[in-house]
Chain A
Amino acid sequence: MQNEPNSARDEADTFARAGESKGDFFERVYDELHGLASRQMRSQNPRHTLQATALVSELFLKLGHHDLEKWQSRDHFISMAASAMRSILVDHARSKKRQKRTPLGGRITLDEAATEFEARSGDLVALDDALVALGGLEPGLVKLVELRFFGSCSMEECARLSEKSLRSVHRDWRFAKNWLRKRLDPDSAKPASGSA
């Protein structure tokens, strides 16, 4: 799609612009969120629009409709939205597990969105647990996973948001993935021969 969100990423001004009406601001936020949500959607299936929309509604609720103006910058906003995306999807996956039954009809949109993510992460609840554990070791890596996986940020964006060099973000990302991979699927990482 031609309006690649990256192009708009350069603005570093205050997210809520001076003199901007609430309506305009909301429109912009909505656009951003919709972009964020739909970037997750792999193919061109029309249902993905619905999924993205369902995610956006959730994001709005989660981010709180009263304090949108609080965000200092677009970067701050993206980072918050990525965290919110994580908790929406994980909460959803958790509650689905708890219910152990087919959820109500239209909830499927969020289900499908979660499935899109799970195609690349495996069980979201397990991922979340692993992230909590990783957070105890190096919180910065969790933030990176949120931005990259839940927020679909490019490496360049992640580097800017975390104020690190691109090279070290690449290093962090590779490590975080390997660490999570091992944690999520202990069998896949073969035990090293000769280990204790």
Chain B
Amino acid sequence: MKFYRSLAVPALIWYVLFILGPLILILVTSFLQRGPYGGILWNFQFDNYLKLFKFENLMIIGRSLQLALTTSLVATFLGLICAWGIVCSSGAWRSMFLGLITLPFLTNSIIRIYSIKLFVGTSGPVPIILNYLNLNYDPTDWSTSSALVMYGMISSYLPFAVLPIYGAFEKIDLSLIEAAQDLGAKSWNILWKVIFPVLKPACAGAFLLVFIPTLGEYLIPDLLGGAQTTLIGNFLTEQFLKSRNWPMGSAVAIGLMVSLFGCYFIYKKARFKKAVL
């Protein structure tokens, strides 16, 4: 046993050095003061956390929350429908659909965002089609809206929604759906009255899996969102790289982590209660 314990030592040391250490440091930094030229002054205080509740910062948090919530809701809904479609298709199709949905998740997010930019950009097909349909469309106007950011986020994180729901879907009794269909229920009613109630826990999990990365997302709003949609991720980066206010940035980072863990615990608790009942 002693031998195997010693095998864990290198990884343990590495993790303590480069995960635990930095995390404790960021917690400590969040209580410190900004130095005159960036950097850190070792004066303990709570100002950084109080500043989080300033109006403009609350606006950023609110906007990020709103965007993350809508994105996760839409992704969960699409995930539910996609999972239904995948479960009900035959063997070879099923693996192909699963592969097609998972593949983008395994490819570089920069490339995906690049291609989306190309797709909706000035000379891309989206403006051409929309102009053809006589719809007023200005790509430069889009770049400041959050619809594009949402498209980017959903296409990046959709697998997180589809896979857990699909996993749970495979385990439920599909004859329920068949019975509902035989008895003449509309597809919409089957979705809300038969499928959704059974898959509620899986949907909650999928929602959370999308919500966590989207809340702190930096790259997608930065590249697709334009300057007017500052979200938590961009705000954090600004604090660190531009205004070099590391203590403030650390406080934002800690706030983000605490709220994410909060969501996770609520989810765990809800599931646990369900298991007891």
Say whether A and B bind each other.
no
